[in-house]
Homo-oligomer: A and B are copies of this chain.
Amino acid sequence: MNKIKASGKWALVSMATALLVACGGSEEPESTAKVEQKVETIEWKMVTTWPKNAPGMGTGAQVLADNIKEMSNGRLDIKVYAAGELVPALEVFDAVSRGTAQMGHGTAYYWKGKVSAAQFFSTVPFGLNAQEFNAWIAEGGGLALWEEIYAPFNLIPMVAGNAGVQMGGWFNKEINSLADFQGLKIRMPGLGGEVLEKVGASSINLPVSEVFTALQTGTIDATEWVGPYNDLAFGLYKAAKYYYYPGWHEPGSAVEAIFNKDAFDALPKDLKAIVRSAVQQANLAMLNEFTARNNAALQTLVNEHNVMLKPFPQDLLIALKQASYEVLEEIAANDPQSRKVYDSLKSFLGSVSEWHDVSERAFINARALE
């Protein structure tokens, strides 16, 4: 599956050390002769689900490729394709599975039609935040399950980034109770959309290109997007005035890197280790970027664009939480793989929540005391 670059890469290697090539006659080989040695360059394609240079995600994919190239001294050279350049966003999984590309970069819930349990590896409503998700994957059995469900597709998954807790979305009216929320038409794909239906709102699916106009004209009452960093760039503040928090539906949206198993297995041991390390470096770097940049964008939205920043009312959050756990249980009930993955996630969530209640949560609340 790995494509070895035909033209090769040539490195000058000093051959002052013993040459086993015997040369007869009166001409001694020059003791400091330079010998051109062919270093194999492996060329990979990385297909992504992101628009070209999408902040955080698209740029993160390119940085990941650059880091792997630098660490491998050019031996693993990965060309990054934005969504649609080589294959459309929603064909990334298949393209890597069959080896059209050796690597993909996206998020797991896109593949729920092929493998239902995949959606637990993006983020789930009222689930794990970024720190907790990373710990579940690395230390709580998450990675083994993820590998297990992708194995039939000849794919190896890794966590390649996280956007942190997202925002609750843009609304064109104030929400003061669960009742205000009921009947609203909200653009929210994925699990969050299923939860909406359970509490009496409507989940609307729209192509990205139509979201802005639909919100502006009142065809929809609200839309979720990402967080301030991306939402500011998208200009949603021009279409709706109220910006609600928290993003209960996506508390730690994980980005995945997927690898064609044959291509990955064919790498020498050092390149495998380099890829694994670079992906984890990218995971941390993306969260750093979102953590640092969301606030600046939030300030711009509030101070320059007069966005009204509002918390969801408590009765609504309680209803959404109950509905979320119902939706997750229903998915788990539908196939044994989802059951297994959700049970693992739920068990980790229960245990890490207890710890974080007395550590992260207690601290961040103490810090906010006046």
Q: Which chain A residues have a beta carbon within 8 Å of chain B's beta carbons?
A: 13, 15, 17-25, 27, 29-30, 33-38, 67, 70-73, 126, 129-132, 134-140, 164-167, 227-228, 245-248, 251, 268-270, 273-274, 276-278, 280-281, 283-285, 287-289, 291-296, 298-299, 309, 311-312, 314, 317-318, 321, 348, 351-370
Contacts and interface: CB of A to CB of B under 8 A. Distances in A.
- Of the listed residues A129, A130, A284, the one surrounded by the most CB atoms of chain B closer than 10 A to its CB is A284
A233 to B, nearest CB: 16
State how many copies of this chain the complex holds: 2
A interface majority secondary structure: helix
Contact of A24 (B23, B70, B289): B23
Contact of A35 (B21, B140, B285, B351): B21
A357 B368 contact: yes
A292 B140 contact: yes
Contacts of A354: 295, 298-299
Contacts of A269: 70, 73
A23 B134 CA distance: 58
Given A277-B277, A351-B295, A38 B17 contact: yes
Please name the 6 residue pairs, one residue from A and one from B, whose CB atoms are nearest each other, closest first: A139-B292, A295-B355, A135-B291, A246-B362, A165-B359, A73-B270
B270 A72 contact: yes
A274 B293 CA distance: 27
Contact of A139 (B20, B291, B317): B291
Nearest to A287: B131
Contacts of A140: 292
A67 B273 contact: yes
A268 to B, nearest CB: 8
Contacts of A298: 354-355, 358
Nearest to A350: B295
Nearest to A320: B366
B353 A367 contact: yes
